[in-house]
């Protein structure tokens, strides 16, 4: 076996009084052609030389950052990306200034000018540390810019083309003051070390994701939501035919402000809106237009074509029905429709700005025919030329077959669907209907001619929403708050132009959400889970989430958070796996540390509507061991362990065909065994979740020899 070669390349730079606390990223094309660049600063405010500094800007330094798996200008190995093991790469450094007291580390990527993504922030690393092993944590982790967690976020670009990534190590003269920072992200850290940086050194690598990355279409759709940062409020579940993007259609960003051509509607949440996205898109023989949503943004907000209402003439643009031209849209590209439902008609600019992975390669939505929606540029950041987009505002895509785009000119966004779509199953937000008060307050609303002035929308701490505006010198308003007497109902008060300025009140509800005879009302849930080493979770047979860290190393530790929709009782099913090299059940076979692995799993499920933890992993769960090895633990001591021979016997069965069904009889299964933290020794990701006091680490009876399990739990309504 070839030995890994450590590459030690440094470029000595003597610069007068350069501060390194601001954005230290240089032009990436330049960085890609320089090996390790060292920048030296005296670490004092304003560039004044410090008597106590032993390494001033006038000195040379051989501060170097290296790795045994990559060098500047080379590729980032797939192991350290989301297509591999999703672990951080090994790094080594030397030659820091003599008065260095600690180090800080940042990994970032420049997606576009003024658009920096960061994947790794680590600080408080003392001077006795001069290297990091793969997946190792030293000092303190800051938050990454992908999911906001204190962990390494593996590069996972969704667009084609080579992407450059920069590792920057900072030598500091003192400990940065971060006492007032709840979350330490890249910008926070760089600001804190501005006057403490003695020197910094960079290592630049690149990575290009293959078009055949090992993701199913369901996982790709789930990932488009999670990497954008919307997965706390948007769920994605899949069956054999569709991925369902579930949300309440109410965005987190500012909304309704800037509208002139109001219809006097105000957005009201539409809980349990499930948007079906085809998993196997096929081009249709005819184009499809819909006088409703044609797709959904990754924040769960429906996407309409540019027109206000009625059937659309694809080949003859109509400015009179253009919601953008007629001033009907807010500053974010959306407005409230006739059902008091919020949706987009043009590019969702405020949503895009809030995305953790914002950039030209980021998917911002999905058409109902299963094809993705991108922004104004191609995923590789090249401009889209005049005539490249077809009548539906899309073009052929090498990875997905086809993709839609937003644009600054009409039709702005998806105008029609090129793929097959079953319009009969597409959701429409149910309009608000009045309860027994019969005031008629929300009926017959019509847009005031000529538009309104100074329309402002606000949300109060008590959950009430208010929209105020002026028309012909008079002030008007619509306000509502959640009803205290009925779920999914809202108490309105309004003074509208449509009502002649009269003050009206009434309680309004979404029909299907208050039907007491509806026994299968959908609810949104959050699953939080950690596993040593890997798990997959299902609602019935529908995949909720699969561990993002693949199980091809014993260092596969990860926590996952996913939202999903379902109705009580919930049938949750889990596949749990501990890493093993083969059927011996061993790790590091043939090495000095040959051993049996040990498993462990913990989970908790929250009802988001009531904000209540409704279930935790414990001995009430039923589990079945599918693979057990070795049957004699002395196998771990054999010089040449062979599966099925001698002490290295193993037990293996297939999972039952129908074990995920709620009707499956698991009476013969064993109760899950609860294990202590001391026995499991939970690692990366475990501490990122605040576990309920009753949540227990579970596995089979033997942490070492039970390698693969399936577990079930049925959760009744609280």
Average pLDDT estimate for 356-364: 92
Looking up residue 116, the CATH number of its domain turns out to be 3.90.280.10
Domain boundary among 478, 513, 548: 513
Question: Residue 29 pLDDT more than 50?
Answer: no
pLDDT the model gives residue 487: 78
Question: Residue 666 pLDDT more than 50?
Answer: yes
Residue among 495, 576, 436, 590 at smallest CA distance from 264:
495
Peptide bond into 509 cis (omega under 30): no
pLDDT the model gives residue 22: 34
Domain shared by 451 and 576, yes or no:
no
Domain shared by 475 and 493, yes or no:
yes
How far apart are the C-alpha atoms of 255 and 253, rounded to whole Å?
A: 6
Residues in contact with 524: Cβ distance below 8 Å, sequence separation at least 6, in sequence order: 235, 246, 248, 271, 272, 563, 564, 565, 607, 608, 609
Question: Residue 48 pLDDT more than 70?
Answer: no
pLDDT the model gives residue 521: 60
Distances in Å between the Cα of 138 and the Cα atoms of 130, 168, 199 are 10, 15, 20
Percent of the chain with pLDDT over 90: 56
pLDDT digits (tens, 9 = 90+) for 186-243: 999 999 999 999 999 999 999 887 643 457 888 899 889 988 889 878 988 888 899 9
Are the C-beta atoms of residues 711 and 623 closer than 8 Å to each other? yes
How far apart are the C-alpha atoms of 423 and 685, rounded to whole Å?
A: 42
pLDDT the model gives residue 629: 96
Domain boundary among 393, 413, 429: 429
Question: Residue 47 pLDDT more than 50?
Answer: no
How far apart are the C-alpha atoms of 391 and 255, rounded to whole Å?
A: 29
pLDDT the model gives residue 552: 64
How far apart are the C-alpha atoms of 686 and 398, rounded to whole Å?
A: 38
Domain shared by 184 and 136, yes or no:
yes
Among 414-418, 543-547, 549-553, 571-575, which stretch is predicted with the lowest mean pLDDT? 549-553
Q: Is 598 inside a domain boundary?
A: yes
The residues that bridge with 604 in the sheet, in sequence order, are: 528, 616
Average pLDDT estimate for 415-434: 88
Domain shared by 425 and 440, yes or no:
no
| Tokens standing for residue 545 | 């989430």
Q: Is 279 inside a domain boundary?
A: yes
pLDDT the model gives residue 434: 77
Domain shared by 437 and 414, yes or no:
no
Question: Residue 590 pLDDT more than 50?
Answer: yes
pLDDT the model gives residue 60: 52
Residue among 176, 117, 124 at smallest CA distance from 148:
117
Among 158-172, 287-301, 408-422, which stretch is predicted with the lowest mean pLDDT? 158-172
Would you place residue 444 in the very low, low, confident or very high pLDDT band (cuts 50, 70, 90)?
low
Question: Residue 77 pLDDT more than 90?
Answer: no
Helix (H/G/I), strand (E/B), else coil: 424: helix
Domain shared by 273 and 160, yes or no:
no
Among 159-163, 346-350, 436-440, 662-666, which stretch is predicted with the lowest mean pLDDT? 436-440
Domain shared by 233 and 361, yes or no:
yes
Q: Is 1 inside a domain boundary?
A: no
Domain shared by 560 and 693, yes or no:
yes
Residue among 494, 454, 492, 491 at smallest CA distance from 472:
454
Domain shared by 166 and 237, yes or no:
no
Would you place residue 510 in the very low, low, confident or very high pLDDT band (cuts 50, 70, 90)?
confident
Question: Residue 519 pLDDT more than 50?
Answer: no
Which structural domain, as residue segments, surrounds residue 421?
215-429
More confident residue, 546 or 319: 319
pLDDT the model gives residue 438: 60
Q: Is 10 inside a domain boundary?
A: no
Q: How many domains does the chain have?
A: 4
End-to-end CA distance of the chain: 58
Would you place residue 79 in the very low, low, confident or very high pLDDT band (cuts 50, 70, 90)?
confident
Question: Residue 372 pLDDT more than 80?
Answer: yes
pLDDT the model gives residue 75: 86
Domain shared by 482 and 416, yes or no:
no
Q: Is 296 inside a domain boundary?
A: yes
pLDDT digits (tens, 9 = 90+) for 269-293: 988 889 999 999 999 999 999 988 9
Domain shared by 334 and 403, yes or no:
yes
Ramachandran region of residue 381, left (φ > 0), alpha (ψ -120 to 50) or beta?
Answer: left
More confident residue, 316 or 18: 316
pLDDT the model gives residue 718: 80
Looking up residue 698, the CATH number of its domain turns out to be 2.60.120
Among 381-385, 432-436, 464-468, 632-636, which stretch is predicted with the lowest mean pLDDT? 432-436
Q: Is 689 inside a domain boundary?
A: yes
What's CA 145's distance to the chain center, in Å?
10
Q: Among the residues of 117-244, which ranges form H helices? A: 186-192, 217-226
Domain shared by 97 and 229, yes or no:
no
Q: Is 12 inside a domain boundary?
A: no
Average pLDDT estimate for 321-347: 93
Question: Residue 368 pLDDT more than 70?
Answer: yes
Domain boundary among 488, 513, 538: 513
pTM of the model: 0.51
pLDDT digits (tens, 9 = 90+) for 381-402: 999 999 999 999 999 998 899 9
Beta strand ranges found along 257-370 (DSSP E) = 273-278, 283-288, 295-297, 302-303, 334-336, 342-344, 365-367
Q: Is 648 inside a domain boundary?
A: yes
More confident residue, 133 or 431: 133
């Amino acid at each position: 076996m070839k030995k890994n070669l450590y590459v030690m390349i440094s470029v000595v730079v003597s610069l007068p009084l350069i501060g390194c606390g601001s954005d230290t990223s240089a032009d990436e094309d330049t960085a890609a052609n320089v090996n390790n660049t060292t920048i030296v600063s005296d670490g004092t405010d304003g560039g004044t030389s410090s008597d106590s500094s032993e390494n001033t800007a006038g000195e040379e330094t051989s501060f170097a950052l290296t790795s045994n798996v990559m060098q500047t200008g080379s590729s980032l190995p797939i192991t350290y990306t989301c297509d591999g093991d999703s672990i951080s790469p090994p790094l080594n450094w030397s030659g820091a200034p003599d008065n260095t007291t600690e180090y800080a580390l940042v990994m970032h990527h420049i997606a576009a000018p003024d658009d920096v993504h960061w994947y790794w922030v680590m600080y408080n690393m003392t001077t006795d540390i001069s290297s990091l092993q793969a997946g190792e944590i030293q000092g303190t982790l800051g938050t990454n810019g992908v999911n906001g967690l204190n962990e390494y976020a593996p590069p996972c670009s969704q667009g084609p083309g080579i992407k450059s990534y920069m590792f920057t190590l900072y030598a500091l003269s003192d400990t940065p003051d971060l006492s007032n920072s709840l979350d330490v992200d890249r910008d926070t850290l760089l600001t804190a070390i501005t006057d403490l940086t003695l020197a910094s050194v960079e290592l630049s690598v690149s990575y290009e994701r293959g078009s055949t990355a090992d993701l199913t279409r369901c996982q790709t759709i789930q990932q488009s939501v999670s990497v954008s940062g919307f997965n706390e409020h948007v769920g994605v579940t899949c069956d054999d035919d569709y991925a369902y993007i579930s949300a309440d259609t109410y965005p987190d960003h500012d909304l309704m402000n800037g509208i002139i051509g109001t219809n006097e509607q105000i957005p009201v949440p539409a809980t349990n809106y499930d948007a079906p996205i085809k998993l196997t898109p096929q081009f249709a023989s005819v184009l499809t237009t819909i006088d409703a949503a044609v797709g959904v943004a990754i924040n769960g907000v429906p996407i309409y074509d540019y027109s206000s209402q009625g059937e659309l003439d694809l080949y003859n643009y109509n400015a009179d029905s253009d919601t953008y031209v007629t001033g009907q849209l807010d500053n974010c590209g959306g407005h409230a429709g006739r059902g008091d439902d919020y949706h987009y008609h043009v590019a969702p600019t405020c949503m895009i700005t809030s995305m953790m992975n914002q950039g030209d390669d980021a998917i911002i939505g999905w058409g109902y025919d299963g094809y993705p929606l991108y922004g104004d540029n191609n995923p590789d950041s090249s401009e889209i030329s005049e005539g490249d987009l077809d009548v539906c505002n899309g073009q052929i895509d090498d990875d997905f077959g086809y993709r839609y785009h937003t644009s600054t000119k009409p039709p702005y966004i998806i105008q029609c669907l090129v793929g097959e779509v079953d319009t009969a199953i597409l959701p429409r937000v149910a309009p608000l209907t009045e309860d027994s008060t019969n005031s008629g307050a929300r009926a017959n609303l019509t847009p005031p001619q000529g538009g309104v002035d100074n329309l402002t929308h606000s949300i109060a701490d008590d959950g009430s929403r208010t929209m105020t505006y002026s028309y012909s010198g008079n002030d008007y308003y619509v306000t509502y708050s959640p009803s205290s007497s009925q779920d999914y109902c809202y108490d309105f008060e309004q003074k509208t132009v449509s009502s002649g300025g009269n003050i009206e009140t009434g309680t309004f509800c979404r029909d299907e959400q208050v039907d007491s005879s509806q026994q299968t009302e959908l609810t949104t849930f959050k699953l939080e889970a950690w596993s040593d080493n890997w798990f997959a979770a299902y609602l019935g047979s529908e995949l909720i989430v699969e561990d993002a860290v693949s199980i091809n190393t014993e260092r596969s530790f990860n926590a996952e958070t996913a939202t999903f929709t379902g109705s009580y009782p919930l049938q949750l099913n889990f596949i749990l796996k501990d890493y093993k090299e083969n059927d011996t059940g061993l790790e590091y076979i043939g090495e000095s540390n040959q051993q049996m692995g040990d498993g462990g799993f913990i989970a908790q499920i929250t009802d988001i509507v009531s904000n209540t933890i409704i279930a935790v992993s414990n001995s009430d769960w039923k589990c079945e061991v599918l693979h057990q090895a070795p049957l004699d633990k002395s196998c771990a001591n054999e010089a040449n362990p062979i599966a099925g021979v001698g002490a290295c016997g193993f037990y293996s069965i297939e999972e039952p065909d129908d074990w995920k069904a709620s009707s499956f009889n698991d009476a013969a299964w064993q109760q899950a065994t609860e294990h202590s933290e001391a026995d499991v020794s939970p690692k990366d990701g475990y501490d990122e979740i605040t576990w309920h006091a009753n949540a227990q680490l579970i596995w089979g009876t033997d942490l070492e020899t039970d390698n693969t399990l399936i577990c079930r739990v049925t959760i009744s309504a609280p």
